[in-house]
Amino acid sequence: ANTTVTRPPYFTYKACKRHQDEIIHHYGEIMYVDLLSGNKLQETRITEALNKQLSHLWCPRPEDGRPPDAPPIPQGEAGNPGGLEAKYKKLLSYTHFDFHQEVKDLGFELALHSLIHSKLTPFLSRSGLYDSDDPSKWQTGVIRTNCLDCLDRTNAVQWYITWSMLAQHLMPIPALQVFVAEETPAGSQQQQQPMAQPQLVGTAMEK
């Protein structure tokens, strides 16, 4: 006999919400970068599942899988600018980057350069960097990648993001500028604007 175990959407939503709250508590704002293909069925299903969960957080509705006997959504959680809807819209953001297609079209380095400058620069500038010389300055955001197995695509994107932030952090040091000076990758048709120097401010983590 075959046994099928299902999980009601409402309980999945609760687990997702709790997970996001934990990350926000420790790290602040969250940017999701979805690296999955836009035309492979297995991967589009994962993308759709993530979007559905984030949509529930951005705009929770009673009909989103809540069982009939579930307690009502508290006032302020839905449709109230001062409630949880506004909180998650402010602290959770999402962008899709079809890694394989972008690399196929632009090449590896230029594709990742484009991701940083066209989609992630505002978030990275807001998030800033931790400064060990000043305990009041903290990184106030984190990037999470949504992928199939979290290997090649995830490693490549997270490495490039890390290198970009490290370069920005080291640029003010004159002796290191020659090593980390940003260059537009070969093949670019126009000079990209450099990412603004991150502001090392924030209180996302409790002191």
**What pLDDT, in 10s, does the model give residues 31-85?**
999 999 989 999 999 999 898 888 888 876 554 444 444 444 444 333 343 455 6
Q: Which residue, among 130, 119, 160, 159, has the nearest Cα to 32 in the 3D structure?
A: 119
Q: In whole angstroms, what is the distance from residue 13 CA to residue 60 CA?
A: 10
pLDDT value at position 156? Answer: 93
pTM for the whole structure: 0.71
Q: What is the mean pLDDT of residues 178-201?
A: 44
Number of Cα atoms under 13 Å in the Cβ half of residue 108 = 7
pLDDT value at position 138? Answer: 83
Q: What is the pLDDT of residues 3-35, one digit of tens each?
A: 877 766 667 888 888 999 999 999 899 999 999
